[in-house]
Amino acid sequence: MEETKQKFDVDSAAILVKDLRRTFNSGKTKSYDWRISQLESISKMIEEKERDIFKALKEDLAKPEFEAFAAEISMTKSSCKLALQELKQWMMPKKVETSMTTYPSSAEIVSEPLGVVLVISTWNYPFLLSLDPVIGAIAAGNAVVLKPSEIAPATSSLLAKLLGQYADKSAIRVVEGAVPETSALLEQKWDKIFFTGGARVGRIVMAAAAKHLTPVTLELGGKCPAVVDPNVDLEVAARRIVAGKWVANNGQACIGVDYVITTKEFAPKLIDALRSVLEEFFGKDPMKSKDRARIINSFHFKRLVNLMDDNKVFDKIVVGGGRDESKLQIAPTILLDVPEDSSIMQEEIFGPLLPIMTVEKVEDSFDMINAKPKALAAYLFSDDEQIKTKFVQNVSAGGMVINDTILHVTVSTLPFGGVGESGMGSYHGEYSFDCFSHKKSVLYRSFAGESPTRYPPYTPQKQKQLKAFMSGDIFNIVLALLGWVEKDRERAQARSGNKGKNVKDDGLTPEQRRERDAKALQEKAAKKAAQAASGGNNAGGGGKDSKNKK
């Protein structure tokens, strides 16, 4: 008899969050040892179950083993390894400078875990994009729920099974399912929601989070442009564009090249170079190549075919155009100068179709890019330093690569994330730790340095001292500090049992002593001013000037 799968609804989600919050409140996940043990377990899981991971990715996307290892398994391993190496440093409070206003004091920024967090991942890189944020959440000391994508069911099922075996189930859980399960999770109050996917669902996630004022990180997408200046190594540029479009999961990548812009004169040369590289990589009949992932499902296959068969663009195809629904394959396809208002130039393509748009000069591409919502990534191929500078300064995108594509995602010291409609927030490396941490400001003071300036009754003298602090007037700052020192003397005297006497060995009251010290400072300042007015050449004047004259 088959086991009936238990229904996961809003009540189930509430119980799950309550259990995880109990674990978090116990302090268990906050310890360095717990975090390290969980990261080591995930690293061990990847090592021991590599063949199972390959198999799941093959089943979901027909992903070539080389690509599965390079883009998913090895990158997840690297994230784990980096977190294990750097966690102690990441967790350490960061010392920062303080201001004169709080003198004497010290300050630090303490990274504390947010609490119970939700990670909703997507289907195109279902292993990497599920575990990478989970690694950051664990490193930061949170309890975490992972909701993998139901569109990649084999990988989703494997993650649920493996994390159940290798991770601490009291703090790390996986919820499988589709829209009902995701909706049930989004009804709950989380301390952070991390979502990877499309803008449409991103808006739903953000709206749900807003009900509880829950912070979100949204890793979305958009139309990522690649601008090609004629001043390039054409062969290298063509190979790297093909890698960033068709090698990257057959175009199903959020940072994949969505469209190319080049000059009218250079476009034919670029198309010929791309055609040549495609044949080199995938053979004369790319539909038979085993080095290309397939389209994820029939829905997305039909969506891509509709983009390609649109009456506005069908006659613009210059390379490819083949398709086989039974194998969920579409040949690498290049289109030239499709209308700007066509669907293929208005929607994120997320597949093996590449429009090439032409302009009179490369700089004209900036306006074309900026007329669209900000992309997750933007690429430029050029040897012209002025063009590079203008591109970086004038084009807004989540990230950029000059003279290559997509590789910025592999650099752990760079934050990865979108801007505008391509997302908000960032992660990778230490940025993943920061993504799931609260940066708590802590100021330390002693009982010394008690300033009367801050307390009533307010007087003109106190206001003068306050203005001095704000303006940087060193003379008045010294006066204020003298007031603090005197106040400390009085407090020390009171603690030693001489309370109320307020008379020192010099026979002066505190007020008289302050007046005396202020007068001495004024006389010293006047003396220095007189020396400066006489040219600074007298004895005790500008020794530095004397040296220079020698």
Amino acid at 478: V
* Beta carbons within 10 angstroms of residue 443's beta carbon: 11
Q: How far apart are CA 179 and CA 184, in angstroms?
A: 9
CA distances from 14 to 9, 119, 205, 222, 387 (A): 9, 16, 17, 34, 54
ω into residue 457 within 30 of 0, thus cis? yes
Q: How far apart are CA 31 and CA 189, in angstroms?
A: 24
Secondary structure (3-state) at 243: helix
3-state secondary structure labels for all residues of 117-135: EEEECCCCCCCHHHHHHHH
Q: Write b or e for each residue in 302-324: b if 16 or more Cβ atoms lie within 10 A of its Cβ, otherwise e.
A: ebbbebbeeeebeebbbbbbebe
* Beta carbons within 10 angstroms of residue 95's beta carbon: 10
Residue 194, Cβ density class (10 Å: 0-12 exposed, 13-18 middle, ≥19 buried): buried
ω into residue 64 within 30 of 0, thus cis? no
Helix (H) or strand (E) holding 24: helix 10-25
Name the phi and psi angles at 58, rounded to 5.
-65, -40
DSSP-derived pairing of the beta strands 116-120 and 192-196: parallel
Q: How far apart are CA 402 and CA 378, in angstroms?
A: 9
Yes or no: say if 406 and 124 are a contact pair by the CB < 8 Å rule.
Answer: no
Name the phi and psi angles at 379, rounded to 5.
-125, 145
DSSP state of 371: T
CA distances from 528 to 168, 172, 282 (A): 70, 69, 82
User: Which residues carry out catalysis?
Assistant: 219, 254
| Residue 425 token pair | 């927030």
Per the DSSP assignment, residues forming a β-bridge with 416 are 427
Q: How far apart are CA 286 and CA 333, in angstroms?
A: 11
